[in-house]
Structure 1
Amino acid sequence: MKLRHILLLLALLPVTAIAATPADTAGAKAPLSLIPAPASLVRGEGAFSLLADTPLVAADPRAARVARQFAGLMQRSRGIALQVGDAATGEAPAIEFRMTPMTPDASPEAYSLDVSPQRVVVAAGDARGLFYGAVTLWQLATTEVNDGAATRIPALRIDDAPRFAWRGLMLDSARHFQSVDEIKQLLDAMARHKLNTFHWHLTDDQGWRLQIRKYPELTAIGGCRIPAGDGGIDPRTGRPVPYCGFYTQDEVRDIVRYAGERHITVVPEIDIPGHAQAAVATYPRLGSVDGPSPVSSEWGVHKYLFNADEDTFAFLEDVLAEVAELFPGRYVHIGGDEAVKDQWKASPKVQARMRALGVADEAQLQGYFVERMARFLAARGKRVIGWDEILEDDLPADAAVMSWRGIEGGTEAARKGHDVVMAPVSHLYLDYLQTDSPDEPPGRPTLIPLRKAYDFEPVPAALTAAQARHILGLQANVWTEHMRTFERVEHAFFPRIAAVAETGWSPRARKDYDDFLARLPAQLRRYRAFGIDYAQTPFAVRIEGAREPSRATLRVAMSTPLQLGEIRYTTDGSAPTTDSPRYRQPLSLPLPAQVAAAAFVDGRALAEPTSRRFDAASLLQREDEALAMCSQGLMLRLEDDGPPEGPRAIYNIDIFNPCWLWRDAPLGGIAAVEVRAGRIPYYFQLAGDEPNRKFRPARSAHGELELRNGCEGDLLASVPLPAAPGDDGFITLRAPLSAGQRASANLCIVFTGDTRPAMWAVDRVTLRRGAP
């Protein structure tokens, strides 16, 4: 029976039949923490003992290379230096990496893994499959906490192959730049998750990051921007400080080579015809409006488009010719998203060009761009892929679609016979935050928690079996507007990358979220071994305190977003350990109180301990992260614009309706409300959505701070705003309340007036007793 048929049959069996775990002499067998879950796993009896002198055997040069990669993984994670040879010594236990013939219809990424007490054999017909078998073996060797000399690998048989051919991640290097070493760290992590496609977003309105030898100004000019606000000013000299960065072609070749050694294909993206401001800033003749424009320092949807002149197409073809030479993979991504057509509509020159080309409207003009670029790249052995907006006009038959606005575009494309990669914003945009914790970094507070990412199904139910074959796979995307550091990039990717990997690899019938969670702690240990700064927030303990009716005691509740592990806590200021009391129900504590807590699995904390101190004053104070928004027009978690380096304040703001709400604020006996506020740039391009921004009318020169009972309720207090904040970037405004206020209110804080290009943001609200 052919391998793919065996795997299909096994994938349809009940999970319990695949992962049967009969008892061994040591009792019930521990679960195997493999991510992604393999297609078929059958447990055996006993275990193989991996020691520092266990030989790695590989007769084929391709197998020897994989064996060395396995040895490198073990060196990094277990600290043992395994040696690779071409034959075993005597009857001693050994690990063999074996190339075997494969059937014509077998996946080149398929492998088998046999573990017995005397021998381990990893076999595959292609180096790709053998590498993924080595990754599985490495995971088996790092499932348990092991501080001894021997690592026990349980006896088993695995037959495995991926469900989807495209298992990808996209990284935006245009908004914020990552170093070559950081890119390589991400590629390493992708390989350890059996992900095989790195989509690299290299050009946008905020930066052109790829060296093009024929057009050196693209990186000299287009590769630099002046950040908005204080972040773009040297505080010592007052001069602009540009944010620059690009990858030389030698660096790109190095990254492509490095990825290839880990069986990862790099797909470059050159965005056409929109997201073009960096290119137009470099060469204004390429644009659709007269006059120069700077490289953008703002986020959002911009209006700059390439024009349709022959000179512009010659430029784009020159660029893509160098791209095609640099990236040996089959696909080149040409963007196509968010190409707001306002400039084309307003340009007499573009309208004349449309008439000359015989295109009926702006959507057809974008279709002309796609068709022409596809034809040019096809002549160089490449295939075009673009975001789902390219479906707005007829596509070349060979063009593929990446569906980001949902699955609808992918469904339409598959029905039309186009190959599809599913990357919907609803489930796979990992720059969206993963918890509602106040400790989340800047980003888009629309939540994509781990479970939502895990539950995504790439194949729409509406497709026929023939149409479903056009779904190449899935991809998670990270856009880096709010990621000044690589630590934030890692926070976004990890651990949700594990959920994406399992969806891309494992048979649908093998997916089980609860089982995935049980396997996740071992994966976190692997992250720590490789220095990955994974997100703490899904595992960190949330500590919430509320005053009890006696007012002398506090009710303290604890939880974790993933509800994984046992919460252990202390109240004496010490750090929690596995010997600390286990949290089972809310605590009643006298004021003041100090609580620290962490969640533990297998004796290890999943995240750093959380610590909170409560006293009478803290219960009358709220940071902005603990305040609600009056509406959800466009909620963002934004970073302050300064200082240029180091930590900055973070604000939750609905930029369509800046309005902060303290629900049920205890106003009994409160004489005044103090609001600490900061000022940040209003650095958003919102295209057609800009009119949705609400500005409340100001009654004085610089507007007012208003306190209301509810978002549209009665005015409780009003204080004039200054022209600017203090030298530290903040102001503290004290708004007296009239006597006889109600015991509680939904305290709404707003700022009146249109202060663009800057805006006020709440940092902290404090209720003050005593005289106003």
Structure 2
Amino acid sequence: MRRSLLGISTIVASAWLAGCQGDDGTASSRDGVHAAPVAEEASHATPDGIRTAARGPNISIVFHPVDNTAANDGAFFLAELTIVNESAIRLESDGWQIHFNFVRRILDEGEGNANYKQRLAAQGVKFSKGDEAKSGDYWVLEPLANFAPIEPGGKRVIKLLAENWAILKTDAPAAFHIVFPPDKDAWALQSSVVMDASDPKQTKRFPGDVLPAQTPQLRYDENGPLNKVQLSAAHTLLPTPQSFIQGTGEYRLGGPRIAIEYQRGLAKEAAYLKAALGDVLAGSIDASERGQCGSEIRLILDPHAHTGTESYTLEVDAQKGIEIRGVDAAGVFYGIQTLRQLIPIEAYRAAATPGPRKLSVQIPAVTVADGPLFAYRGMALDVGRHFQSKATVKKLLDLLAFHKINKFHFHLTDDEGWRLEIPGIPELTSYGSRRGFDVDEGKQLHIGMGAGSDLAPGDGIRGKARTEAEANGGSQPTYQGYEQAALNFVGKGSGYYTTKDFEEILAYATERHIDVIPEIDVPGHARAAVKAMEHRYKKYAASDPAKAKQYRLVDPDDTSKHTSVQGYTDNFVNPCLPSSYAFLTKVVQEVKARFDAVPGAKLTMIHGGGDELPGLSSNVWWQGSPLCKSNPETKDLGDEALKDYFFKKWQPIIGKTGARMTGWDDIIHGGLQLEGFVPMPWSNVWGWGREDDAYKYANEGRTVILSHATNLYMDLAYNKDPDEPGYYWANFVDESKTFNYLPFDVFAIATHDRMGNSIDPSTWASKTHLTEAGKANILGMHGLLWGENQKSPELLEYFAFPKILGVAERAWNRNTPSAADLPAAWKQFVNTLGQAELPRLDFYRPVDTRRELSRSVGVNYRIPLPGARIENGQLLANVRYPGLIIEYSTNGGKTFSTYRGPTAVSGSVVVRSKTQSGHVSRVGKVN
């Protein structure tokens, strides 16, 4: 399941005093997000105990997962939800409702086993879906007649059972808000989560889970003797070049003037280089077309520069200067990126801190000949679940280009949000891009994934925290792991890109030789579009029936019943309606128009979605649709055949734009043949049976983009630490999973299942392995970042870096190591990270040729916690990336000392890592 919740969660949290904020109905944002227009929120009388119209009741929620092993098979877990009433309100047996988001299904009354049964009625409460449609992750807690009131100053613990497990704090429910009917205002309640990492019942998913929870002692053993090595110039580069020859001496680049000479056709590349050098060096920088004498840097197109498209040679000569020859313009561009990485880190540091920039730098004399392994080196970003601003996307694109990634799979639509303005269908963004407190969803989608309008007003929830620090319990989030703020409305549930925004993103990507691949996810994962088109239908039904039906996506009389993996019951596009295809045609025409408006932008592919239609053993997709039965083309088709029918019509709609169709390989699971379709196989979870799908397709002659969840899903938590954010249904995925990924032999790395159990290598003997002919059909690979937990730009960067660096290395470096060579390659890689790559990211500034971006510096990459243990009264510590600083504290973190070797300690000790720029990891307590 691509974003399966089998083993994931988003569970409740705790809360304290809700913050002060005005709520004037205007849409705003911390970083310039374009929000949909919002209606003025009505003012209502406030119940006793709410102090002002802008401040909510002082009621908080604490979530505590008590026992994940309550069911021996992992079917459910026991949790406690504590309501803490510090307000002046008496919570009676009626008159209030508490809404929240929780991706786990709360068990029905009486469900459970012999030891545990759901007993909510005896506690005087009930849980049910919180919206009128009863669809998705939105829940409501309500009192029953036998509910004993919670007095002011009192609290109540509610015991409940929910599906599967909760072993990370981001599994907690989020976005609690209380309503006092008939009052229509919702008031934010702050929430938190309490977990004990030392209690196996809270960190073990079920008895078969043998993967240990992270501790400093475990990290110490995992890190092992990772000695710091002296880096050669070659090993400061990432991804690793194919050929690197160290020359004699260095070239001094700079002075009062730098001259760049470029061949015709390379003006954009020269402008990019000029801007990049201008961010680092003082002095003037000129760029002119070939013909100028005495240029320090020369950019040349040369079809024989190296082997294959996007290839280049870079020569730095101590006397003659710098010459970059590219097979094509992309090759020249990647040569520029290599040159940028050869600039000493000290120059980047100087440029990012107060004081003068360096006038010149010394570049080592080298000859680099380089080219990519794969034509497709990508990253996928989901902005449907949580929106990311245009500026955030641009920064990410520049970072991807810096590491020679050339494809950006843009997941623009999903159940929780539609993020692209489509002229002629304004409802997609005026309605489908907005989330808020709207139980009947008359004006917007309901709150989802814990977010509406972030901390801004306009989503119908009053009294939210005014700042991230307030949402976080009083301290500014560092976004180096779990933060309480992520449970308390931080996150852009609302927002979209205007046509102008999207064209700007396309232009920015095109300058960096990145192809943008937009995804329109259908026929499942389409709730935002479906609900928006129903909103449109109601708007025009009386005045213009034809317009009302023009883009309708559902049969209103369909009695089919389904529940998606994410709990949605109304998120399918109906394949039997001509209006469904009219809608899709209009959407892709407008998408194509955006590309046509940007010089040089190439619409190479459109991703058609196609994943996660729930199993037909317990679901009906469209068999209850009268319109399917009355359509001559579909009346005799079963649900599987209707799905195939849909994609046979969807693919040519995409094809008419000139783009090729790619999509999730669910589309062809049933054997559907679509000429030219490029599958993205993702569901390779070890032991689930689909581990070899990618190789089957490639051996059959299909072009394949590797998208394996076990190693390439960057939204999955780094490891089994309750303070690591993310999901973990397919695996825990850190940078070792991406770096050690072997695209042509995934079975060599399939040594343990997601529960930590060893896998006998003979298990893979019966699976399809990649043939030499099949190898040629692997177009490439990408890292995928789903958005459920990316609630801030900082969290996006935390999840992506350094994981995406492993993807960049594997996708570019033609010298793929064998499984036997991986340990040695890993030791070199972590030294490159610790000594060169991460220090560069500390001071990274996106190249900004048109002055579109803020001058912010740095990347919020994940800083690994140190490993540590105490033996015979001495602290022993190590860190994953040689080059990072280890610090320890013996006074509970009040002060820290630098660890330089075995150190005598007593009492409680906490440790942390620190970067060269002074940023720190969260702390670990050493027992």
Task: Give the TM-score normalised by structure 2.
Answer: 0.56
Q: How big is the shift at 1:129?
A: 0.6
Matched, 1:523 2:726: no
**Aligned partner (choices 504, 512, 516) of residue 262 of structure 1:** 512
In the superposition, relative to structure 1, how do residues 506 and 230 fare at CA in structure 2: closer, same or farther (>3 Å)?
closer
1:286 maps onto 2:553 in alignment: yes
Q: Matches of 1:74 and 1:282 in 2, distance apart?
A: 47
Cα distance in 2 for partners of 1:517, 1:323 equals 41
Q: Distance in 2 between matches of 1:306 and 1:481?
A: 22
Secondary structure of the equivalent of 1:421? strand
Flag structure 1 segments of 5+ consecutive residues without an equivalent. Answer: 1-26, 549-553, 620-772
Q: Give the 3-state SS of the residue equivalent to 1:286 in structure 2.
A: coil
Query: Which residue does 2:571 correspond to in 1?
Result: 304
- Quick one: structure 1 residues 192 and 544, their matched pair in 2 at CA, closer, same or farther if it must change by over 3 Å? same
The CA RMSD over aligned residues, in Å, is 3.6
For residues 611 and 680 of structure 2, the distance between their equivalents in structure 1, rounded to whole angstroms, comes to: 10
Does 2:633 align with 1:349?
A: no
Residue 423 of structure 1 aligns with an amino acid whose one-letter code is S
Corresponding position of 2:336: 134
Equivalent residue letter for 2:736:
R
Q: Distance in 1 between matches of 2:603 and 2:526?
A: 24
Give a deviation string over 1:651-710, Cα, whole Å, max 9, x none: xxxxxxxxxxxxxxxxxxxxxxxxxxxxxxxxxxxxxxxxxxxxxxxxxxxxxxxxxxxx
Over 3 Å counting, the alpha-carbon distance change for 1:279 and 1:290 in structure 2 is farther
> Matched residues in 1 for 2:895 and 2:837: separation?
24
Alignment partners' CA distance in 1, 2:805 and 2:283: 26
Q: In 2, are the aligned partners of 1:47 and 1:116 still within 8 Å (CA)?
A: yes
Q: What is the SS of the residue equivalent to 1:411?
A: helix
Give SS of 2:400's match. Answer: helix
Q: Given the alignment of the two structures, is residue 541 of structure 1 paired with residue 866 of structure 2, yes or no?
A: yes
Residue of structure 1 equivalent to 2:461? 234
Task: Work out whether residues 57 and 88 of structure 1, in 8 Å CA contact, stay in contact via their aligned partners in 2.
Answer: no
SS at the partner of 2:621? Answer: helix
2:701 pairs with 1:500: no
Question: Deviation at 1:478?
Answer: 0.7
CA shift for structure 1 position 568: 4.7
Q: What residue in structure 2 maps to residue 69 of structure 1?
A: 272
1:479 deviates by 0.8
In the alignment, what sits opposite 1:598?
A: 913
1:67/1:84 contact within 8 Å kept: yes
Q: How does 1:403-414 map to 2 (within 5 A)?
A: 403-406=681-684, 408-414=692-698
How far does residue 228 in structure 1 lie from its aligned partner after superposition? 5.2
Quick one: distance in 2 between partners of 1:300 and 1:606?
A: 43
2:385 is equivalent to residue 111 of structure 1: no
**CA separation of 1:282 and 1:230: change in aligned 2, threshold 3 A:** closer
* 1:317 Cα deviation from its structure 2 partner: 1.7
Deviations 1:322-376 (A, max 9, x none): 2233244110100000022534255142652687337643222212211211122
Q: Do the aligned residues in 2 keep the contact of 1:494 with 1:535 (CA within 8 Å)?
A: yes
Q: Which residue of 2 aligns with 1:486?
A: 793
Matched, 1:191 2:191: no
The CA distance in 1 between the partners of 2:513 and 2:640, in whole Å, is 37
Amino acid at match of 1:541: P
Partner of 1:745: none
1:582 aligns to 2:900 (yes or no): yes
Structure 2: 5+ residue stretches without partners: 1-229, 351-357, 437-446, 453-459, 466-488, 535-551, 596-601, 685-690, 747-768, 845-856
Q: Distance in 1 between matches of 2:512 and 2:635?
A: 47
Distance, in Å, in 1 between the alignment partners of 2:894 and 2:342 is 35
1:46-61 paired onto structure 2 within 5 Å? 46-53=249-256, 55-61=258-264
Task: Report if the CA contact (8 A) 1:54-1:95 is conserved.
Answer: no
Match in the other structure for 2:743 = 458
SS at match of 2:779: strand
Task: Determine if the alignment matches structure 1 residue 363 to structure 2 residue 363.
Answer: no
Q: 1:31 to 1:398 in 2, by over 3 A?
A: closer
**Relative contact order, higher structure (CA 8 A, sep 6+):** 2
Give the whole-Å Cα distance in 2 for the aligned partners of 1:217 and 1:181. Answer: 25
Secondary structure of the residue aligned to 1:214 is: coil
Per the alignment, residue 585 of structure 2 pairs with 317
Deviation at 1:101, TM superposition (A): 3.8
Residue of structure 2 equivalent to 1:651: none
Amino acid at match of 1:140: L
Distance 1:198 1:359 in 2: 40
Contact 1:571 1:596 in 2 (8 A): no
Structure 1 residue 523, shift from structure 2 partner:
1.3
Taking a change above 3 Å as real, the CA distance of residues 599 and 390 of structure 1, as seen in their structure-2 partners, is same
CA distance in 2, matches of 1:90, 1:259: 32
2:384 maps to a residue whose letter is: A
User: Match for residue 724 of structure 1?
Assistant: none
Q: Which amino acid in the other structure matches residue 125 of structure 1?
A: V
Give, in whole Å, the separation in 2 of the partners of 1:32 and 1:230: 42
Q: Would you say the 8 A contact 1:47–1:154 is kept in 2? A: yes
Q: Does 1:94 align with 2:296?
A: yes
Aligned counterparts of 2:330 and 2:377: Cα–Cα separation in 1: 14
Which is further off, 177-186 or 149-158?
149-158
What is the deviation of 1:594? 5.5
Secondary structure of the corresponding residue to residue 195 of structure 1: coil
Distance 1:348 1:611 in 2: 56
Matches within 5 A, 1:386-397: 386-391=663-668, 392-397=670-675
Q: In 2 relative to 1, CA 167–613 (structure 1 residues): closer, same or farther, beyond 3 Å?
A: closer
Q: Secondary structure at the match of 2:510?
A: helix
Taking the TM superposition and a 5 Å limit, the aligned residue runs for 1:405-484 are: 405-406=683-684, 408-444=692-728, 446-460=731-745, 462-484=769-791
Where does residue 677 of structure 2 map in the other structure?
A: 399
User: Is the Cα contact below 8 Å between 1:281 and 1:292 reproduced in 2?
Assistant: no
Q: CA offset at residue 574 of structure 1?
A: 7.4
Amino acid at match of 1:426: T
CA 1:140–1:217 in 2, change beyond 3 Å: closer, same or farther? same
Letter of the aligned partner of 2:498 in structure 1?
T
Contact 1:344/1:350 (8 A) holds in 2: no
Distance 2:681 2:705 in 1: 6
Higher relative strand content:
1
Residue 526 of structure 1: SS of its match in structure 2? helix
Say which is worse superposed, 222-231 or 406-415, in terms of deviation.
Answer: 222-231
Match of 1:643 in 2: none
Between 1:304-313 and 1:187-196, the stretch displaced more is: 304-313
Distance 1:64 1:444 in 2: 45
Aligned twin of 1:338: 612
SS across alignment from 2:573: coil
CA distance in 2, matches of 1:278, 1:492: 25
Aligned to 2:757: none
Distance 1:231 1:253 in 2: 27
The aligned length equals 569
Q: Which deviations, in whole Å up to 9, do the C-alpha atoms of 1:380-431 show, x marking residues without a partner? A: 3121111010112422211111111125332222233221100111001100
Looking at structure 1, the residues matched to 464 and 883 of structure 2 have their Cα atoms a distance apart, in angstroms, of 51
Are the equivalent residues in 2 in contact too, given 1:566–1:583 (CA < 8 A)?
no
1:142 CA drift (Å) = 3.3
Q: Which residue does 2:827 correspond to in 1?
A: 514
Shift of 1:282: 1.6
User: Residue 403 of structure 1 contacts residue 423 of structure 1 at CA under 8 Å; is this kept in 2?
Assistant: yes
Aligned to 1:627: none
Give the C-alpha shift of residue 215 in structure 1. 1.3
> CA shift at 1:94, angstroms?
1.6
Of residues 316, 320, 326, the one that matches 1:124 is 326
Residue deviations 1:175-220, cap 9 Å, x none? 1111111111111111101111111111111011111112111111
Say whether the 8 Å CA contact 2:831–2:881 is kept in structure 1. Answer: no
Paired position in structure 1 for 2:188: none
Tell me: CA distance 1:52–1:519, structure 2 relative to 1, closer, same or farther (3 Å): farther
Partner of 2:525: 275
